[in-house]
Chains A and B, each alone.
Chain A
Amino acid sequence: MTETKGEKFSQELDRLAKAEGVRLPRILLLSASEMLAAHRGIEAEDVRKVAKELVRRFRKVEVDAHESVGIVAAQSIGEPGTQMTLRTFHYAGVAEMNVTLGLPRLIELVDARRVPSTPMMTVYLDRGVRADEKKVHEIALKIEVTTVPDIAAIGTVVEELKVVVTPRPALLDARGLTRSDLERVLDQTLDKRRWTLSNGSGGGEGRSFEIHQAETAPPKTGKEPEEEMPFRRLLAAAEAVRAIQIKGLSSIKRALIKKESTEWVIYTEGSNLAGVLEIPGVDRSRTTTNSVFEIYKVLGVEAARTALINEASRTLSEQGLTVDIRHIMLVSDLMTNEGDIRAIGRHGISGKKTSVLARAAFEITANHLLRAAITGEVDELKGVAENIIVGQPIALGTGAVDLIYRPLAAPASSPNHTRPKPAAPPAPPAPEEGAAPTTGA
């Protein structure tokens, strides 16, 4: 019941505010109406008063037009950089995992690197699974990459030209696998034309596999001196066996589970968002990765923007630095503005600026100037850097508005009073600028 009442208040407040030409943020409307709904005996007049007060106060906190929000944002993010650590620390959640933090991480984010230096995922699970440690563990095993050396010893017997794979029952158990799983995978991945798989010595789960060269060797392909170095091929085969992935997702090296208050969460070293999201039991709405680029690929720019904001503000707040989220939003919005992720720097935003002078002043000066001549580029002198270079006021803040002074009728006696400032004694008499002398342009 309160819900509908709150809804009604919020709509009413919104309507009243809009009537005054102010769009109030949703969160304000909601919390105000919620509080109103909690009160008794609220009348239409009260709502109107609240709306009026909200509008009055909100107008005071709005940004001014022409505010140089970009510079302020850059300063707000850059300045605390000097106070950050350079070291990588253990991640607060899992002591066993190292994650890049502090300044290097922040630089990595604004650089829009494809792969972070320490990719990491936080995998949340569905309601049915999240409380059950055993099930969570199973999922973790599904995610984590398991290769043959993780569960078996691999040896070569050169005299007999064979590779011996001896599974370790304890390791098999820990990974939730059986000998037959290994057998199946080996059987599937080996090239049957070259190799044969057979059982070796030992018994039970620990019984080894032997990989021999196939009797029916594949038809010789002309040039290849096949029989020349058989042991070399054997070693290559052993390497190949080593690389065989039994299960799990590629690039996820480790998966650890940890209890977070009421539920179990999987933390992974390495990141494979697309793969993890396909695993049943994974809560797709909350699972995330610290690889912004991967989020962009899998979920799109909007998600990437949010990820950038989250990652950057987390990095800053982990260092105990408070930076208003609006600044971070602006940087993220700029980086994702073109529909993909562009870096802050000469290869991204700064390299694509419209002004030749601004680009030249940043980096790779000569090339920008030379190129500008080829295409006959025009610098419109709208930005900050270019106007500083030519020595003109910039179009931000108070410089964004021009003041035009139109004298009504000049008192004939003292010409000094016709101008906004007493005319400086001009060396050569300045040409009259028509009827309206202007300051600025």
Chain B
Amino acid sequence: MPPTGLAKRIRSLQFAFLSPDEIRRMAAVKIITADTYDDDGYPIEMGLMDLHLGVIEPNLRCRTCGGRVNECPGHFGLIELAMPVIHVGYAKEIKRLLQSTCRSCGRIIPAALTGRGVAFSGIEDLGGGFSRPVKEDLVCPHCQEVQQKIVLDKPTTFRESGHKITPKEVRARLERITDEDCRQLGLNPKFGRPEWMVLTVLPVPPVAVRPSITLESGERSEDDLTHKLVDVLRINQRLRENRDMGAPQLVVEDLWELLQYHVTTYFDNQTSGIPPARHRSGRPLKTLVQRLKGKDGRFRSNLSGKRVNFSARTVISPDPLLSINEVGIPVEVARALTVPLDVTPQNLEVAQELVKRGPAPPMTGGVYLPGVNYLVRPDGQRIKVMDKNAEACSAMVTLGCRVERQMVNGDIVLFNRQPSLHRMSMMAHFVRILPYKTFRFNLCDCTPYNADFDGDEMNLHVLQGHEARAEAKVIMQVQEHILSPRYGGPIIGMIHDHITSAFLLTHHDPHFNEAETCYILSKSHIPMPPPKGHEKNGEAYWTGKQIFSLTLPEDLTLEFRSSICSHKSGAEPKEHAEDDCLVVVEHGQLTSGTIDAKAIAAGKGVILDAIARNNGPARARRFLDEMSRLSITAISLKGLSTGIDDEDVPEDARRHISKVMSDAREQVKSLVEQYKTGKLEQMPGRSLEETLEVQIRGTLSRARDQAGDIAGRFLGLDNPAVILAKSGARGTMLNLTQMAGAVGQQSVRGERLLRGYYNRTLPHFARGDLGAEARGFVSSSYKTGLSATEYFFHSMGGREGLVDTAVRTSRSGYMQRRLINALEDLRVEEDGTVRNTAGTIIQYRFGEDGVDPSRSVQGKALIVEEVLREALGKKYRTELELRGEGIVGTTVVGEEELDLLAEAQAEEETEEEEAEEGGGFEGGEGGGESGGD
């Protein structure tokens, strides 16, 4: 039952020591027997499973509180230790205290201290002091006692000038430290006296903390903690007996040390310096510290992340006909997950009707009807609704009841894919109950979830409260996340086929007849527009750009260059017209240009960005919904496929390419020759070997590019694979030239291949061969096929990519964990400052201007031109117009500014050049997609 609101709120937690008295007070029973159960399987009294400690069996009652298994949380017991022992966790602390205080009177010896005393109310830092060892000849100013040097023999033995100090003595000394001195030493005596760090009683945790499990054979298997406690009890018992009998000092000391060992490992079984206690099978025991620590420890595994109900997980698959904020859910899942429905006078009848249906209403005509799984009566009693008792349950439904009804279309749920690296990894979707057994969603949602359908699974959570549902609807819906907070641009957009389709639809504005147009629009619920015109034969036609425009909002006006555009900025419109690459949208009508990745793709879509920003997320959702439906029908009209023979090049070209390749090999040979004869000219700041490598690599990459160019001449926009690459749907031209031209140099760690045999990569080559093919140059293309050695080299490059990916995920995962942990508490306060939990101001204004990056335009707060256009109305002039009027550009610019201007321009140019060169290919496909998901 989900609670409505909080009954109580924990305001703060106080950490403190358990004093021996308190341990005794809270103990329900004193444990003296090392045994657990008797022969009948009944817990032994005063044993480790005593019924006062709580119960774990269903038919027993707790002797302390009378509760049953689910009612009694358990109670502590205690073990009176025969002799005191040191608490391992505090050994260092004890050493510090012993060193800073007098061995006889227990007062602080000021000369022993190096730091300042700590003001108590707000202890923040205990570092910086108190740790200088007491010098051997130091004299206590209070009692003139000569001090001795104390060392800690790890983990728990203290020695003073070589003599062992027993824990008893240690405790006695700690007792002598006054409360006032404790404060000076950084201890808060209100919450813990120093002597409590030496244990005299040991609390025994309730059985619920260390439940024993009964195996099928009827054999009991005890928890690791119980095992450890048994050890403690046994030795404790023996120590007591020996001591009381007056056994030799040596025997008693040995047992005492053994007790210390068991208590130590009871706390931490990974204490350095002592062997870990082991189970009979040889497995080290998991004791207290191990339970808490690390990734699978209590903190990270059970407290920072908790298991939940009302969730489902299954394989995902695509469905372009769903809206981006919908998710298709299998009937089986819909029946298993429920939404609570509070029965009110308004819905009483509905609720009764629902319950009457039972948990599995028949699917008449394949129509899903929600049933009810549970009925919660006003007194809190939960009744499972079954076919048999459905009628009876229905009669029980009254006001104040709660009905747990199955999911229906339109319910809101959270949908998630791990790894949840950003907030878009968990978004709210509306439910659509569908046949079959996978979760389905619109392909546009692949990007934020980083999902594909090669076997990926995703999780789904059904919200249980009104508040949660409201929040999900307002801030978690997919449409609210179209603009990414990472860079103020769209992260959800069209992918792959959508882009290809849009490209085919709009490039050079093809004509469609009535049947075709009707088909394209058939799935989009967009009414047919009047035809654009009539062909010569009188048949009406519609154009691709016209059809695309149907998805745009009417007030959209913008202009940009599409990604197929290869012209430099400032090119004439005429040049653009040839490639149809200057996109102009006026009042929701696409008048020129090709729609491709630049316009609508996830991550960069300009049109998408404009719609999401100006027309709001709901309109952007509609655009994506309509566009994804429309693009699927449009592309299925003609179809688009590519195969390996799309990369066929004429025999002539092949010959040309192999000529280029052999020329390159010759060049490399001559470079190596020059190097060997010492004629190679050394580059500044480089060794001769490095110079050679640089030049060889340059030569070979030029050759690869040349081969690519030759092949590229035969790869035009009539080639489907080229359409994919140029429109930005998938792949790059580089991939194609590798298929048609040459694959190029393979590399590991950014260098030509070199590892393998002594002085050579493979036995196929001579030792010390520095030539092209001996060091991993692949002159074949994927189409012609690789030679055996080339194939091997290629797989070397590929392997590096795989290893790289594997290493990277773990490294970046840890970095993100640290970042999140460091920054999680920061928030914007109402005064606009960014503060942490301590109230320290981290920023006076978030990001210096207080702008939310997800609302910014690519990081800019506002587009000032738009503001002015809006505000000035008719008076507004664009920069271009102003320049024409000769107003802008007449300001006198100083020499400094000119300098800077020139710099800035030069910088821009180099940047553009580099961008065009774009990551010179070397070394496999940089990992690429690895198998599986």
Contact = CB atoms under 8 A, between A and B. Distances in A.
B308 interface: no
Interface in A410-439: 414, 416, 419-427, 430, 438-439
A201 interface: no
Contact of A366 (B186, B292, B829, B891): B292
A386 B304 CA distance: 8
B119 interface: no
B755 interface: no
Contacts of A50: 867-868, 871-872
Interface in A84-104: 84-89, 92, 95-96, 103-104
Given A366-B293, A426-B380, A376 B875 contact: no
A426 B377 CA distance: 10
A383 B837 contact: yes
Given A84-B808, A389-B304, A424 B402 contact: yes
B188 interface: yes
A262 B823 contact: no
Contacts of B152: none
Interface string B866-909: 01101110011101001001011001000000010011011100
A77 B819 contact: yes
Interface in A78-121: 78-82, 84-89, 92, 95-96, 103-104, 106-107, 110
B827 A61 contact: no
B192 A376 contact: yes
A36 B821 contact: no
Interface in A219-266: 254, 256, 260-263
Interface centre among A32, A89, A334, A380 (most CB of B within 10 A): A334
B694 A95 contact: yes
A277 interface: no
Interface stretch (A63-71, A162-170, A210-218): A63-71
Nearest to B909: A261
Given A62-B851, A333-B843, A106 B815 contact: yes
A372 B15 contact: yes
Main secondary structure of the interface of B (DSSP, over half): loop
A153 interface: no
Max chain B Cβ within 10 angstroms of own Cβ: one of A49, A62, A441: A62
B864 A376 contact: no
A38 B887 contact: yes
A374 interface: yes
Contacts of A177: none
A31 B872 contact: no
A64 B828 CA distance: 7
Interface stretch (B76-84, B771-779, B852-860): B852-860
A397 B474 CA distance: 13
A184 interface: no
A32 B867 contact: yes
B677 interface: no
Interface residues of B, number: 139
Interface stretch (A186-194, A289-297, A324-332): A324-332
A325 B815 contact: no
A377 B906 CA distance: 59
A78 B845 CA distance: 23
A373 B15 contact: yes
Contacts of A396: 827
A328 to B, nearest CB: 9
A402 to B, nearest CB: 10
B837 A74 contact: no
B578 interface: no
Interface string B564-575: 000000000000
Given A262-B902, A424-B3, A74 B487 contact: no
Given A322-B489, A423-B4, A438-B5, A330 B808 contact: no
Nearest to A102: B808
Contacts of B17: 373-374
Interface stretch (B6-14, B316-324, B328-336, B701-709): B6-14
Nearest to B865: A35
Interface string A109-147: 010000000000000000100000000000000000000
A52 to B, nearest CB: 7
B821 A441 contact: no
A301 interface: no
B906 A380 contact: no
A264 to B, nearest CB: 13
Given A64-B852, A74-B816, A325-B859, A348 B822 contact: yes
Contacts of A354: 837-838
Contacts of A326: 846-848, 851, 853, 859
B902 A79 contact: no
Interface in A320-353: 322-327, 329-331, 333-334, 337, 344-345, 348-350, 353
Interface residues of A, number: 141
B826 interface: yes
A323 B812 CA distance: 16
Nearest to A324: B853
A323 B827 contact: no
A17 to B, nearest CB: 12
Interface string A299-328: 000000000000000000000001111110
B560 interface: no
A86 B466 CA distance: 46
A374 B828 contact: no
Contacts of A104: 811
B180 interface: no
B244 to A, nearest CB: 33
A49 B871 contact: yes
Contacts of B686: 96
A60 B855 contact: yes
B164 interface: no
B123 A375 contact: yes
Interface string A375-416: 111111111111011111101111010000000000000101
A395 B13 CA distance: 17
A265 B861 CA distance: 34
B59 interface: no
Given A322-B487, A382-B837, A52 B871 contact: yes
Nearest to A415: B400
B862 interface: yes
B816 A79 contact: yes
Nearest to A401: B830
Nearest to B292: A365
Interface in B376-393: 376-380
18 contacts: A28-B862, A35-B865, A39-B872, A53-B867, A54-B867, A57-B867, A61-B862, A63-B846, A70-B827, A72-B485, A74-B820, A75-B423, A96-B684, A324-B487, A326-B847, A374-B188, A414-B345, A424-B3
Closest 9 CB pairs of A and B: A326-B847, A78-B816, A70-B826, A376-B191, A261-B906, A81-B812, A70-B823, A376-B188, A441-B9
Interface of B: 1, 3-7, 9-17, 89-90, 93, 123, 126, 186-188, 190-192, 268, 289, 292-294, 297, 299-300, 303-304, 306, 342, 344-345, 376-380, 399-402, 421-423, 465-467, 471, 475, 485-489, 683-686, 694, 749-750, 804, 807-809, 811-813, 815-816, 818-830, 832, 834, 836-838, 840, 842-843, 845-853, 855-856, 858-859, 861-862, 864-865, 867-868, 870-872, 875-877, 879, 882, 885, 887-888, 891, 899, 902-903, 905-907, 910, 914, 926
Given A3-B891, A327-B847, A374-B90, 16 more contacts: A23-B850, A25-B851, A31-B864, A32-B867, A39-B875, A61-B856, A62-B851, A71-B823, A72-B485, A82-B812, A86-B804, A110-B815, A326-B847, A349-B822, A367-B89, A384-B824
Interface of A: 2-3, 23, 25, 27-28, 31-32, 35-36, 38-42, 46, 49-50, 52-54, 57-58, 60-82, 84-89, 92, 95-96, 103-104, 106-107, 110, 127, 254, 256, 260-263, 322-327, 329-331, 333-334, 337, 344-345, 348-350, 353-358, 360-362, 365-367, 369-386, 388-393, 395-398, 400, 414, 416, 419-427, 430, 438-441
